[in-house]
Amino acid sequence: MKEQLADILDQVLRRNPGEREFHQAVREVFESLEPVLRKNPQYVDAAVLERLCEPERQIIFRVPWVDDSGRVQINRGFRVEYNSALGPFKGGLRFHPSVYLGIVKFLGFEQVFKNSLTGMPIGGGKGGSDFDPRGRSQGEVMRFCQSFMTELYRHLGEHTDVPAGDIGVGGREIGYLFGQYKRITNRWEAGVLTGKGLSWGGSLVRTEATGYGTVLFAERMLGTRGQSFDGRRVVVSGAGNVAQYAIQKAQQLGGHVVGCSDSTGYVLDERGIDLPLLQQVREAERLPVSVYAERRGATFVPGRRVWEVGAEVALPCATQNELDEDDAAALARSGVLAVSEGANMPTTPAAVALLTEAGVLFAPGKAANAGGVATSALEMQQNASRDAWSFEYTEQRLAGIMHAIHDRCLTTADAYDAPGNYVVGANIAGFTKVADAMLALGVV
């Protein structure tokens, strides 16, 4: 079976040259699957893995737009509709200069298993553009979003493909995208995008969901050892949406959050992060965390990563491969108890191995940050029934989903002789649900 897995992986590497993030994501899942394939030869016979590694559809398109000075700009747009065995494609759009096909495919591949773990009827997809909204005016962002949607709209629909936000795509961008979709199609199809504004079809808790879910999963993990967030020293990477609401939920649970970061460096605030001030600086004024440190009288450390601060709970909420082996070693030396990924694949394979070996509770992103897409699916439910739920009820649903994902990962890891290994549990539980659906649907 190892040889078969190695052959399939070699095929993936050959067919997708240069897509290092995608290679990393596939390799990480494959490392868990040997006992599954040995126990379920029907997956091998039906070439389920080979099909899973090939997206159903990859869309690449030109996005021309005009900037404020009247110059024509050209960006590249992507949508990878990865797997729809469980439901319509579902996954965010990322606007960032680093976006290329390999990143979109890695995110889409991870999304398939993440969405499977939620238990909701949604498939996996991802998209975006190498457009950078930072430093752009409102008008420029609007014109870009309208051009982007003018091509993408033909591939979307509440029963086909339902995008949401990701890095660089928040409520503002979703609004412009939805407005253009409505304009072109002449349909108020609320379920075609999630992360919408509350006054036009959005869901309460959706903004908070990814960060909240990451912390709820970590709390459940700590509970398996009779521990909690109460009084724990916490550090969070990032300072965007996911990081902010991870900070909020950790503080609600009694955690003492002392650090956060952005691409310029990190803040150490021993008094505890002042979340309203951080949100004012980052969301309202769109300024770097150094400005927060200046106004707060906290320490700003330029060009370095927040993991060197040391903590009992670490929440990587920024971007892929941001926590490496050296960072993991520093955290382990500081006595870290748990690491819960709020971003997608933020921890390198070597760092994951080191943390696991050190006995640290480790929650992979496909499980720990699934709260965002789970609440997007709840938003789709509300849109379909023309209903709106209270914050308390929606948060209760989110908590139930995150606890169920945790327990499913733990039970599956136990069943495959890897007790306490959430990576193995998440990979196998996510894979088997999708694989069984693919077998039921035939060779498609």
Q: pLDDT digit string (tens) for 113-155? A: 999 999 999 999 999 999 999 999 999 999 999 999 999 999 9
In this predicted structure, the answer to whether residue 411 has a pLDDT above a threshold of 80 is yes
Residue 114 annotated as part of some ligand binding site = yes
Tokens of residue 22, six digits: 């995608």
Closest by Cα among 124, 76, 65, 82 to 100 = 76
Tokens of residue 432, six digits: 């088997």
Would you list the DSSP string of 109-166? HHHHHHHHHHTSS--EEEEEES---TT--HHHHHHHHHHHHHHHGGG-BTTTEEEE-B
- Residues in Cβ contact with 345 at an 8 Å cutoff, skipping those fewer than 6 apart: 21, 24, 25, 28, 106, 110, 320, 321, 365
In this predicted structure, the answer to whether residue 199 has a pLDDT above a threshold of 90 is yes
Q: Rounded mean pLDDT of the chain?
A: 97
| Burial label, 303 (beta-carbon count in 10 A; 0-12, 13-18, 19+) | exposed
In this predicted structure, the answer to whether residue 83 has a pLDDT above a threshold of 90 is yes
Report pLDDT for 2: 83
Give the residue numbers annotated as catalytic, written as ranges: 126
Residue 87 annotated as part of some ligand binding site = no
Residue 73 annotated as part of some ligand binding site = no
Residue 241 annotated as part of some ligand binding site = yes
Helix (H) or strand (E) holding 299: strand 299-302
Report pLDDT for 90: 98
Domain ranges (residues) in the chain: 2-188, 209-363
Q: Indicate yes or no: pTM above 0.85.
A: yes
Distance, in Å, from the CA atom of 364 to the CA atom of 336, rounded to the nearest integer, reads 16
Determine how many CB atoms are found less than 10 A away from the CB of residue 234.
27
Residue 234 three-state SS: strand
- Percent of the chain clearing pLDDT 90 (strictly above): 98
Q: pLDDT digit string (tens) for 361-398? A: 999 999 999 999 999 999 999 999 999 999 999 999 99
Backbone angles phi, psi at 97, to 5 degrees: -60, -25
Distance, in Å, from the CA atom of 348 to the CA atom of 205, rounded to the nearest integer, reads 30
Kindly state the DSSP code that residue 71 receives in the 8-state scheme.
Answer: -
Closest by Cα among 443, 438, 428, 436 to 117 = 428
Tokens of residue 243, six digits: 């990081």
- Percent of the chain clearing pLDDT 70 (strictly above): 100
CATH 3.40.50.10860 corresponds to the domain 2-188: yes
Neighbouring C-alpha atoms within 13 Å toward the C-beta of 292: 31
Report pLDDT for 331: 97
Residue 302 three-state SS: strand
Kindly state the DSSP code that residue 318 receives in the 8-state scheme.
Answer: S
| Cβ atoms 377, 351 nearer than 8 A | no
Fold match, 2-188 / 209-363: yes
CATH superfamily of 209-363: NAD(P)-binding Rossmann-like Domain (3.40.50.720)
| Burial label, 436 (beta-carbon count in 10 A; 0-12, 13-18, 19+) | middle
Determine how many CB atoms are found less than 10 A away from the CB of residue 218.
33
Residue 165 annotated as part of some ligand binding site = yes
Neighbouring C-alpha atoms within 13 Å toward the C-beta of 411: 9
In this predicted structure, the answer to whether residue 291 has a pLDDT above a threshold of 80 is yes
